Amino acid sequence: MAIIHDAEKRTFTIHTQNTTYQMQVDPYGYLLHLYYGRKAAGCMDWLLTVADRGLSGSPYDAADIRGYSLDYLPQEFPVQGTGDYRSPMLIVKDINDAFGCELRYAGYEIAPGKYSLQGLPAVYADSENDHAETLKVFLEDKRLGLHITLLYGVLPDLDIITRSVIVSNRGEKPFRIEKLQSACLDLPFGDFDLITFCGRHAMERQPERCALTHGSHVIGSRRGMSSHQYNPMMILADHTADERSGRCWSMQFVYSGGFKAEAERDQYNQTRIQMGLAEEKFSYPLAPGEELVSPEVIMSYSGEGLAKLSHNLHRCIRKHVCRGKYRDAVRPVLLNSWEAFYFDFDGDGIVRLAKEAKELGIDLLVMDDGWFGKRNSDFLALGDWTANEEKLGCSLAELISRVNEAGVKFGIWIEPEMVNENSDLFRAHPDWAMVIPGKKPVLGRNQLVLDLSREEVREWMYKAVCSVLDQGNIEYLKWDYNRSIADVFSHTSDDQGKVLYDYMIGLYSVLERLNARYPDVLIEGCSGGGGRFDAGMLYYTPQIWCSDNTDAVDRLIIQYGTSFGYPVSAVGAHVSTCPNHQNGRVTPLKTRAAVAMNGTFGYELDPGKMTEEEKEEVCGQIEAFRKDAALIQNGDYYRLSDPVSDNMGAWAYVSEDKSQVLLCAVIIESRGNMPAMYVKADGLEPGAMYRIEEDGRVCAADAMMDMGLPLPQPGEDAHSYVYHLMKI
Ligand code: GLA
């Protein structure tokens, strides 16, 4: 049993393979958090301290114990209104516009298997194979008629605990939810670093680590999307924690809309971290009988450093978030037309690319933006999802057949959540776009966002995508989303505070229907590159274009940051041409392939412009990739250097039995008379010897993990090294 309820101590304890999580109902019915850390036994209420603290008020019922204050006791679901002045998870406004809520324990349920969430993506796992269990703890505020269900999903073998919250109105009067977070963790003692993943378009998920000081460190997105700027993922770690040692806790949001994540160090040096829905542009009314479900947070703890933490998250996302045929199947190697042609192509050009792709050994040709309506630039036609036959020189159905006849699969780009003012769709349904009446809308890439909180818009979007996919044998769809939401307004909603949340429910419902109707179509998520790279989208699209930046050196950092929370199988990565279109850098073709293989692997260039020598090299790369694809997709991933500070990006994939290792490194800048660079291996079997296939060296695992493996002099910038280590 992973979940244990102790009726006498009034505790709930969750044990996973290496961790323990515990909470307790106190004598007044408040739910206190006791512990989340390495596996431990017994009741841990001895961790609580009570002292008379000035200006920290007591709940009315606890007034006899001076100093019993929720202002410093660790809590499981802190709400605004209990005398806890730290940042709350829930803020409720009642019918008199008064703030204040007081929740008391009201029961529990333990069930086998992992809960799912109505309308929202969530980790899935069963009781039989995964030993998953669910804990529900109920809280209530009798005055408001407000009922809370705290949900805990436990995947014991993976050291994963998920959390979500359901708020129900079981009273007689409406109230409004002004803030709702999904998970919180109070740690009573310790000095910590916060690791977040921030960035911008074409430079997403740069890791940033800083010591927590008093006050709050907040990241989030007010953009209605998870965003390029801050990924919905954070790690709290000991100052000394590194890849191989130290304590670290993570929270990761299974949601693609706006979010808030906060780490707070309080007056007594205690730490609270929490994650949930963005507060801005959110104010959700609940009438009697209604409820609101918060998106899920995935939590994990590792006492053995960041590599172990990432392994827990990778396993969870790979097998318990991603779904469908391509969860396990090796992904097709693809050629995307975007950087080859941008908007400037015709059907013959696409067929030529398909033929070239076939010769190189590529599986799939993707026709990117520009194939529909009058779309020859990004000023128009989003919404008009019928093929531009004049431009293609044939129907879409014919083009698909011609590409298939060339011997490759066909994939297509779409951006169905958006509309240009200059489109037939907008002319027919101007009120489907989110525009505030009387206000000029903010434009992003000249486009507006469709109002997916509306049922008829969802229905239209579903049918529009189906009508494209039904044109022929389309085996891949790139689902793009190229702006942030600025103007939140639905012409039919009775309450604008609901719209952003309802938008996501709408998007997910359409994706769910499409997944069900087209189980064999691989959908790749995209949002101006990696602007919606989150576990929510991965539930519907098992891979996401990681960044519009295809430069191998910048990608070292982007993919390094991404790897903390997301598996390689989720990371869309392609080889593109040089000089690179985003930053002008020239890198060796070999390096571009090594870096793109640290992802789903494909190409984004015009093979017609390559020399014969380059084509031969590409054929070799694809052959090599096929041999290693299973190890790359399913192996344990180790970060072996920090490319932000190390002049080197290095990483390895290690098979489960540790017999096979693929170790890759890129030295970023070559220098004169350079000191030798060493890569410290990780995850090898202690005591074992490994042969390096490429140069025949036979090396002790322990020495490679302790001193490192020396790399030959690079002789050029961005030189790469790919080594297969076989256990002997
Ligand atoms: C976004 C994507 C690109 C490409 C263009 C097409 O920027 O990230 O890969 O598909 O849109 O307009």
pLDDT of residue 64: 85
pLDDT of residue 67: 87
- For ligand 1, atom 11: residue with the closest CA: 528
For the chain, give the number of residues.
728
Give the distance from CA 228 to its chain's centroid.
Answer: 11
**Integer angstrom CA distances of residue 650 from 454, 653, 664:** 47, 11, 6
Q: What residue ranges line ligand 1, CB within 6 angstroms?
A: 338, 368-369, 413, 480, 482, 526, 528-529, 545, 548
Span 342-401, pLDDT tens digits: 999 999 999 999 999 999 999 999 999 999 999 999 999 999 999 999 999 999 999 999
- For ligand 1, atom 6: residue with the closest CA: 369
Q: 565: which 2 tokens?
A: 């929370």
For residue 412, the CA-to-ligand 1 centroid distance in Å is: 12
- For ligand 1, atom 2: residue with the closest CA: 528
Closest by CA position to 266, among listed 229, 308, 341, 213? 213
Best of 203, 418, 420, 480 for a ligand 1 pocket test (most atoms within 8 Å of beta carbon): 480
Task: Say yes or no to pLDDT of 63 above 90.
Answer: no
Q: 561: which 2 tokens?
A: 């940051």
- Give the pLDDT band (50/70/90) at residue 66: confident
pLDDT of residue 65: 85
CATH topology (fold) of 334-532: TIM Barrel (3.20.20)
CA 660/CA 601 separation, integer angstroms: 20
pLDDT of residue 144: 98
CATH topology (fold) of 648-727: Immunoglobulin-like (2.60.40)
| Catalytically active residues, by annotation | 534, 614
CA 128/CA 97 separation, integer angstroms: 48
Q: Which atom of ligand 1 is nearest to the CA of 478?
A: 10
For residue 583, the CA-to-ligand 1 centroid distance in Å is: 16
For residue 134, the CA-to-ligand 1 centroid distance in Å is: 40
Burial class (CB in 10 A: 0-12, 13-18, 19+), 334: buried
Span 506-547, pLDDT tens digits: 999 999 999 999 999 999 999 999 999 999 999 999 999 999
Q: Is 715 left (phi over 0), alpha (psi -120 to 50) or beta?
A: left
pTM (two decimals)? 0.98
Best of 201, 225, 366, 369 for a ligand 1 pocket test (most atoms within 8 Å of beta carbon): 369
Calculate mean pLDDT across residues 16-24: 98
Q: At a CB cut-off of 8 Å and minimum separation 6, what does 129 contact? A: none
Span 97-133, pLDDT tens digits: 999 999 999 999 999 999 999 999 999 999 999 999 9
Residues of the chain above pLDDT 90, percent: 99
Q: What's the DSSP call for residue 372? A: B
pLDDT of residue 433: 98
pLDDT of residue 274: 98
Q: Which atom of ligand 1 is nearest to the CA of 529?
A: 8
Calculate mean pLDDT across residues 575-597: 98
Q: Strand ranges (DSSP E) for 18-83?
A: 19-25, 31-38
For residue 329, the CA-to-ligand 1 centroid distance in Å is: 25
Q: Which atom of ligand 1 is nearest to the CA of 604?
A: 9
pLDDT of residue 486: 98
Residue whose token pair is 């009642």: 94
Per domain, the residue ranges of the chain are: 3-320, 334-532, 648-727
CATH topology (fold) of 3-320: Beta-galactosidase; Chain A, domain 5 (2.70.98)
- Give the pLDDT band (50/70/90) at residue 473: very high
Sign, CA torsion 8/11/16/20: negative
For residue 544, the CA-to-ligand 1 centroid distance in Å is: 12
Task: Say yes or no to pLDDT of 479 above 90.
Answer: yes
